[in-house]
């Protein structure tokens, strides 16, 4: 099951214009209506991490016929979203290029068709999730922006202990350079993993921007899946982080603090590892052995192996063959 919008993702890793349209679609669909900020005063509620992330529309004259401007302290907003990271962090660079934002705006007509298409994508995704829940009762969302390795398969296994259906639900919006285009992974899931899991997984992207904001974004993502109608969502080690700026379990700790404010059940895990003493890929939470025999499993390492035409030891052979054939096609 997929959304086939007329507006396929392009090479827009640094496109603020595209990010704005994706955010506007999130607000107009209702998914992010509570996150829209139209004054500096509105930012106060986001000091509580359970509110998710603020959505601010930057002042871009080429996109709007008219608007009213308000200003915020750029550094304060970055610290609110990202914590104590350097302004050169990829999330800051991708998300913010100004301290001037707008309210009471009117989008130029030439953007309306794309905006309407994205709104329809979001509403269609919500309708599909509602049908999944009707058919399966317990339906979990698994967000990943990587080609699946054995660690991802272990996470799916764990989710299926709680859910009758797992929906791979990647964010579709501009990404940092080097990421995989998640929409293009549908063929892999449909041809390889769906049969492997006896039709207990589906692939359904959602139009939304990534911020790479780590623990704060884990809550934000949970709220989005709650709005979509999922009953469960998975948050793991370094969820929505980049460049190693967040502690491994920071997102899990944040979710544990905010779970009572959410109606969706968040399944947490500390990521997958290879344990030489277990002789297998396992979830770190399920392994009692010492660090000496443990090896990390990394989506970045998997991508690097594919680039070099090497075998990655912690990914299924059939997935590696598919990914090798399609690697250039998959890149942002």
Separation between Cα atoms, residue 304 and residue 299, nearest integer Å: 9
Alpha helices in the chain (DSSP H): 16-29, 74-82, 90-95, 112-136, 150-162, 186-188, 194-196, 214-228, 250-258, 299-308, 317-330
**pTM of the full structure:** 0.91
Res 44: pLDDT:
94
Residue-wise pLDDT tens digits, 85-106: 988 898 888 888 889 999 999 9
In this prediction, residues 113-119 reach a mean pLDDT of 96
- DSSP state letters, 198-260: TT-EEE--EE------HHHHHHHHHHHHHHHT-SEEEE-TTTT--TT-S-TTHHHHHHHHHGG
Residue % of the chain over a pLDDT of 70: 94
Of 11-20, 104-113, 191-200, which range is least confident?
11-20
Q: What is the pLDDT of the chain when averaged over all its residues?
A: 90
Residue-wise pLDDT tens digits, 29-84: 999 999 999 999 999 999 999 999 999 999 999 999 999 999 999 889 999 999 98
In this prediction, residues 153-161 reach a mean pLDDT of 96
Separation between Cα atoms, residue 184 and residue 99, nearest integer Å: 34
In this prediction, residues 105-125 reach a mean pLDDT of 97
pLDDT at 3 over 80: no
pLDDT at 5 over 80: no
User: What are the tokens at 263?
Assistant: 């109606």
Residue % of the chain over a pLDDT of 90: 71
Split at pLDDT 50, 70, 90, the class of 1 is very low
pLDDT at 117 over 50: yes
Element of type H or E holding 167: strand 165-168
Domain boundaries, the chain: 10-332
Query: Which single residue is written with the structure tokens 């998300």?
Result: 95
Superfamily grouping for domain 10-332: HUPs (3.40.50.620)
C-beta atoms surrounding 310 within 10 Å: 11
Split at pLDDT 50, 70, 90, the class of 177 is low
Q: Is the model more confident about 242 or about 14?
A: 242
Split at pLDDT 50, 70, 90, the class of 9 is very low
């Amino acid at each position: 099951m997929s959304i086939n919008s007329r507006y396929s993702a392009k090479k827009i890793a640094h496109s603020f214009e595209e990010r704005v349209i994706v955010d506007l679609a999130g607000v107009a669909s209702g998914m992010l209506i509570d996150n829209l900020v139209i004054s500096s005063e509105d930012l106060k509620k986001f000091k509580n991490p359970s509110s998710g992330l603020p959505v601010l529309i930057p002042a871009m004259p080429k996109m709007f016929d008219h608007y009213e401007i308000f200003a915020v302290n750029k550094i304060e907003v970055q610290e609110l979203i990202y914590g104590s990271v350097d302004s050169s962090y990829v999330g800051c660079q991708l998300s913010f290029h100004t301290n001037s934002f707008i309210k009471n705006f009117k989008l130029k007509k030439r953007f309306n068709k794309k905006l309407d298409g994205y709104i329809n994508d979001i509403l269609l995704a919500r309708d599909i999730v509602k049908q999944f829940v009707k058919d399966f009762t317990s339906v979990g969302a698994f967000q990943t922006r990587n080609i699946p390795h054995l660690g991802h398969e272990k996470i799916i296994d764990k989710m299926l202990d709680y859910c009758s259906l797992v929906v791979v639900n990647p964010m579709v919006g501009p990404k940092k350079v080097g990421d995989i285009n998640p929409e293009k992974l549908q063929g892999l899931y449909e041809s390889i993993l769906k049969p492997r899991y006896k039709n207990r997984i589906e692939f359904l992207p959602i139009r939304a921007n990534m911020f790479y904001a780590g623990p704060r974004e884990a809550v934000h993502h949970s709220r989005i899946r709650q709005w979509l109608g999922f009953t469960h969502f998975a948050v793991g080690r370094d969820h929505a982080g980049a460049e190693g700026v967040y502690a491994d379990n920071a997102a899990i700790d944040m979710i544990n603090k905010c779970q009572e404010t959410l109606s969706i059940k968040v399944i947490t895990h500390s990521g997958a590892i290879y344990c030489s003493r277990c002789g297998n890929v396992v979830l770190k939470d399920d392994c009692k052995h010492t660090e000496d025999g443990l090896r990390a499993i990394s989506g970045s390492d998997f991508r690097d192996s594919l680039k070099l035409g090497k075998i990655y030891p912690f990914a299924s052979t059939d997935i590696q063959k598919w990914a090798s054939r399609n690697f250039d096609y998959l890149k942002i």
